[in-house]
Amino acid sequence: MTAQPLLFLIADTGGGHRASANAVRSQFEVDHPGEFDIHIVDPFAGTASPWLRHTTDLYGTVIQHASWMWGALYYSTNSKPAVSLLKSTVLRSVESGLARLCQRLQPAAVVSFHPLLNHVAARAVRRPGVTRVPLITVITDLVDVHAAWACRDVDAVVTPSPGGLDRARRVGIPGERCFPFGLPVDVSFTRPPLTPDQRSALRLKLGVAPDGFVVLLCGGADGSGGIARRARALAKASLPIELVVICGRNRSAQKRLAGLCDHRGSPVAVHGFVNNMAEWVRTADVIATKAGPGTIAEALCCQTPLLLTWYLHGQERGNVDWVVDTGAGRYVPDIDQLVDTVAEFSRPGSPGLARLREAVMRVARPEATADIAELIVSMARGGIVPRS
């Protein structure tokens, strides 16, 4: 049997879009080995539009150093007229390349993991010579759904949370095309919980004390949200914790934190971008992070309570309220709040931490990725007919 091609569209802004696409691909490898040939493509890379190129290239730097600028861009484009303007200008530059790719690959379905790429894909598959194939959108934001996610030519839209479903409807996505499955999370985060022995063995492998209270500090793929300041404060405080810092692609923070020692004089583990995030999240007692949707969904699947330290203006504001309202985490934007909460949770038998753990188990959606994969399979095989 020849593997059927599928085209997954992403943009390498942050880590979430690619992580979501990779997660669905991994699920296919488990549930449908050899049946599909999945191509993950970033159509913005190498685009002719300097505006798009600069926006995507500078994303990491902007959110680390001037996140207000991202907020301004997000809110100023969060309306139907603004999205129409983008569609008729900068997004045009991506369309013909994508149409050529569709002609060459002949995918059985196109799945967009990015709000703007829905529109590009919808137009590309309507061009002469290109076959109209099912189009699916997987919303990779958790609660705040930007107007650009609404594209009337898409056949199915996967929504991430009850709040995300409401917002998706409000921005104009018809309810009958919404599939409220949740955010895709890689299979490595959804394995059964570790037994105490497995946890100790994993900690030893990672170089962490088997019995310590492990606090994992991170800030998404770009290590944003003042990670260095927070790491220093936690290291300096007299807390009975093992601190692990993952700076992602934030090389400057990683460099500044090199040689960091805790209050006992022991070195703190500081990493750059890691490819074994699931192991770190599974081994941690608590994760302190910016309110990125990917990290939140992953932590929930690993049953690791959340301390949200920062959010990106725009798409991450609603994530904070959602996490706090579900009881799966606390919002601790001030450094003193962070230190005090870690002190509270690291006390043996902390009731606050126990309450968070219970909530985390309730709200996790470990089945989301398998549901999304089955929806794509069904559409690719003609089970759900694309709109003409």
Residues forming contacts to ligand UDP in the complex (CB under 6 A) are: 14-16, 19, 218, 220-222, 246, 248, 273-274, 277, 292-295, 298
The encoded tokens of residue 323 equal 């996490």
Comparing CB distances to ligand UDP, the nearer of 40 and 343 is: 40
Helix segments in the chain, DSSP class H: 16-31, 50-65, 67-76, 80-88, 92-105, 115-124, 162-170, 196-206, 227-236, 251-257, 277-283, 293-301, 317-326, 335-346, 351-363, 368-380
Q: How far is the CB of 293 from ligand UDP (least distance, A)?
A: 5
Q: How far is the CB of 123 from ligand UDP (least distance, A)?
A: 26
The residues, ordered by sequence, that sit 6+ positions from 41 with a Cβ below 8 Å of its Cβ are: 7, 8, 9, 10, 101
Q: How far is the CB of 299 from ligand UDP (least distance, A)?
A: 9
Comparing CB distances to ligand UDP, the nearer of 220 and 366 is: 220
The encoded tokens of residue 88 equal 């008729």
CA–CA gap between residue 138 and residue 25 (Å, rounded): 13
Comparing CB distances to ligand UDP, the nearer of 283 and 295 is: 295
Reduce the DSSP state of residue 50 to 3 states and report it: helix
CA–CA gap between residue 158 and residue 372 (Å, rounded): 7
Q: How far is the CB of 282 from ligand UDP (least distance, A)?
A: 12
Q: How far is the CB of 255 from ligand UDP (least distance, A)?
A: 15
What DSSP character marks residue 176?
A: G
CA–CA gap between residue 93 and residue 126 (Å, rounded): 16
Q: How far is the CB of 102 from ligand UDP (least distance, A)?
A: 26
Q: How far is the CB of 388 from ligand UDP (least distance, A)?
A: 35
Comparing CB distances to ligand UDP, the nearer of 122 and 308 is: 308
Cα separation of the two ends of the chain: 29
Comparing CB distances to ligand UDP, the nearer of 109 and 363 is: 363
Comparing CB distances to ligand UDP, the nearer of 123 and 290 is: 290
Q: How far is the CB of 190 from ligand UDP (least distance, A)?
A: 13
**H/E element holding 213?**
strand 213-218
Closest CA to 176 of 157, 163, 149: 157
Comparing CB distances to ligand UDP, the nearer of 21 and 111 is: 21
Q: Which residue has the tokens 């099912």?
A: 134
Q: Which residue's beta carbon is nearest to the bound ligand UDP?
A: 292
Comparing CB distances to ligand UDP, the nearer of 233 and 274 is: 274
CA–CA gap between residue 370 and residue 31 (Å, rounded): 8
